[in-house]
Amino acid sequence: MDAERIKSALADITAEQDPTLKSAKLASLCSALWAERGVDLVVVGGSAIEILTEGAYASGDLDMCHATKASLSVAERKEIMGLLDAKGGPRNWQVAGMYLDLLGPVESFARTPYRRIEGPYGNFLVTKPEDLLVERVLMSFYLGESKTAWKCARELAIVALAGAVNMDWNEVLRVANRPEYRNVEQCKVLVREVADELKTKNPFDSD
Amino acid sequence: MNSKPKIPSIPIEGSISWEDWLKGRRYRRELSQLVAPGINRRKTSSSDRRLKKLFNGERGLPFTPTAKL
């Protein structure tokens, strides 16, 4: 990506006042710049939930991980983020009026692909909703009850049940049955609850 | 609600165009609001200090109202 294109993208992202668009555009730009150097980034955590659900959940930081085995050296990161006038580093930057955290290698158990969005500055990846749903259900109970985590899981379930996000429900069950989670019943309860509210078929019903 | 979705889905395989993802924002927000009404942003986190400094005491920019999506 040439310097003029980067400058124009940065101006657009800096001026953007919609928090979800700002995150998505920054993810698109960073993913393109990292990909030019052979590293795939993926949006994770609250930003990923926001991009998939519009659930009015995310805060002003974008969390990304690298999906390829290797990441970039500190010098390469400094070079790229310097092109974006970013402050800080080598893992957290203030850039274009928000924060970017690069967390390390992505953790995923689902066998489905990362979701791919053709962003304005290049494609970017979003972590798998199957992983996110099971993880948020776990977080709902892990350290006492978390209503926020439960709400996030409900948001993921409803967008999937309504067909706005395609979800592999068999993968949800397989991931939930892994030793890292063991929360199949809680996931089933949540999905049944949301399916009933939406008056739609529960994908976990056998008939 | 068993009808086909009103908007292009975010697919498992392949990709969704930017325009189609934008088109789906309002519908996804409307769905999310059915099961988790209001603003669901966490009240606190370990990033509070830097976020509140950047966003004038808030933890991020205000969300665009559903009607404007």
Question: What's the ipTM?
Answer: 0.94
Residue A207's pLDDT band (cuts 50, 70, 90): low
Cα distances from A189 to residues A159, A185, A199, B8, in angstroms, run 17, 6, 15, 28
Return the sign of the alpha-carbon dihedral for residues A123, A133, A166, B7: negative
Q: Residues A131-150: pLDDT tens digits?
A: 999 999 999 988 777 889 99
- Is B53 in the A-facing interface, judged by CB distances under 8 Å? no
Mean pLDDT of chain A: 95
Q: Does residue B52 sit at the A interface (CB-CB below 8 Å)?
A: no
pTM listed for this prediction: 0.95
pLDDT in tens, A183-196: 999 999 999 999 99
Beta-carbon separation of B38 and A54 below 8 A: no
CB contact under 8 A, A99 and B59: no
Q: At what angle do helices B25-35 and A147-161 cross, to 10 degrees?
A: 130
* Closest-CA residue of chain B to A191: B35
What is the edge-to-edge ordering of all strands in the sheet holding A61-66? Answer: A87-88, A92-95, A98-105, A61-66, A41-43, A122-126, A115-119, B15-17
Q: What is the pLDDT of residues A8-41, one digit of tens each?
A: 999 999 999 999 999 999 999 999 999 999 999 9
Contacts of B54 in chain A (CB under 8 A): 60, 94, 97-99
Q: Do B1 and A200 touch (CB under 8 A)?
A: yes
Closest CA relative to residue A131, chosen from A113, A145, A150, A151: A113
CB pairs under 8 A between A and B: 147
Do the chains contact at B10 and A164, CB–CB below 8 Å?
Answer: yes
Exposure string over A90-105, b if 16+ CB within 10 A, otherwise e? eebbbbbbbbbbbeee
Q: What is the pLDDT along chain B (69 residues), one digit of tens a residue?
A: 445 667 899 999 999 999 999 999 999 999 999 999 999 888 888 889 999 999 999 999 999 999 999
Q: Among all residues of chain A, which has the CA nearest to that of B44?
A: A59
Q: Concatenate the DSSP letters of all residues of B15-55 into one string.
A: EEEHHHHHHTHHHHHHHHHHHS-S----S--TTHHHHHHHT
